[in-house]
Amino acid sequence: MSAAAAAVPTTMRAAVLRGVGDIAVEERRVPAPGLGEVLVEIAAVGVCGSDTHYLLHGRIGPHVVREPLVLGHEASGRVVAVGEGVDPARVGERVSLEPGVPCGTCPTCRSGRYNLCPQMVFHATPPVDGSMQQHVAIHASMAHPVPDEVSDVAAAMLEPLSVGIWACRRAEVALGDRVLVTGAGPVGLLAAQVARASGADVVVSDVAPQRRAVATALGLRVHDPAEETAGAGPGPVEVLLECSGHPSAVASGLEALAPAGRAVLVGMGGDEVSVPLSILQDREVSVTGTFRYAGTWPTAIALAASGAVVLDTLPVRTFALDDAAAALTAGRDDPGLVKALVVPGQARTSPDAPSPDAPSPGTSSTRPGQPPSPGTPSPDTSTSRPGQPPSPGSRTTPDTEDRS
């Protein structure tokens, strides 16, 4: 570890999933950054639907939680130490973490599609620990410096923003395209903003009035599928970005496509879904899936810093590390909440039961902005090493994620 890391504590605190519905804060050792790695003091960690699914069900498809696991893969922080081979000048940098470390050497990585690397080591995907803890060691190339214009909360949200960027790239969204986004959750709202920044004419469809209200506040056109009648939908459109995972949204979205339209299925629903095959054939519609991202962080940082994509005024709520369990279910309990985030440096504001008017325990106001500085972590919690990273410079493109 670099000599610049003299002030780094030896222990830290981590929110650890011990089993279905069982998450607790534990004390673990602070990991030492290895060759080509940096040690990051975590400032904010966004809650993804996959985190909530692991909490409630203990698995997602073939990924099963068989041993204690630190959740979280949408993180920002500050470099506090560097490993061998990393410039010590990086200490002090504010960074956004790209949570997947590919092998960097397989044919998929070398083609630039490292999001599909079969050796990918991804945060909070069993058995790899995530970032809902005070410190994380990660390959230096996956810790992307962010400018002052991007707050810590916004820097954590660059991960779901990257999902939206990758979806738009897969759909080849272009100037003048008519784009339908189904599902106004975090990824849908961010994908819609990316499409708009690309020069597209965007409409967002969602059954929840709270989510449509957020889209409207962002200046996006909205569509209520409950008011749709035959022949009066949002189509025809050149592009469908399906971000809900709901079978009816998939079907109606595909029906809205114009001839030669492009559909990208982003939302994760069931393993199987019915599609209107005759429409796909008669209109020569292209349909593809999307998995995480590759090479998106520079674009995400630029969009956030310029204000072309709005992050800091979205309805978010921050939680103390001790209230990680509440953070993980906050979105389910509040349909108007776009993103819950855990801020390890945030003091628990209400360790006892809150008053009926108070926000959830340990939460801050729903206005995001810059969260409190992590400060000096208490002597407590985990090693979240994502596994052996590739050698520096082995990646062919600068960036990747999970469909948040």
- Confidence at residue 330, expressed as pLDDT on a 0 to 100 scale: 95
- Confidence at residue 132, expressed as pLDDT on a 0 to 100 scale: 98
- Confidence at residue 377, expressed as pLDDT on a 0 to 100 scale: 34
Q: Which residue has the tokens 């830290």?
A: 12
- Confidence at residue 235, expressed as pLDDT on a 0 to 100 scale: 85
Q: Given pLDDT bands bounded at 50, 70 and 90, which one contains residue 335?
A: confident
Which CATH fold topology does 164-289 show? Rossmann fold (3.40.50)
Token pair in block for residue 29: 């050792």
pLDDT tens for each residue of 184-207:
999 999 999 999 999 999 999 999
pLDDT tens for each residue of 278-298:
999 999 999 999 999 999 999
pLDDT tens for each residue of 299-327:
999 999 999 999 999 999 999 999 999 99
pLDDT tens for each residue of 83-114:
999 999 999 999 999 999 999 999 999 999 99
User: Quick one: 3-157+311-343 is in which CATH superfamily?
Assistant: Medium-chain alcohol dehydrogenases, catalytic domain (3.90.180.10)
Residue closest to 97 by CA, chosen among 174, 18, 42: 42
- Confidence at residue 138, expressed as pLDDT on a 0 to 100 scale: 97
- Distance linking the first and last C-alpha atoms of the chain: 33
Residue 254 to residue 265: CA distance in whole angstroms: 10
Per-residue pLDDT, averaged over 32-48, amounts to: 97
The chain-wide mean pLDDT, for the chain, equals 87
The reported pTM is: 0.85
Q: Domain residue spans in the chain?
A: 3-157+311-343, 164-289
Handedness of CA 138, 299, 404, 317 (dihedral sign): positive
Q: Percent of the chain having pLDDT more than 90?
A: 77
Same fold, 3-157+311-343 and 164-289: no
DSSP result, 279-309: HHHHTT-EEEE--S-SS-HHHHHHHHHHTSS
Handedness of CA 223, 173, 289, 20 (dihedral sign): negative
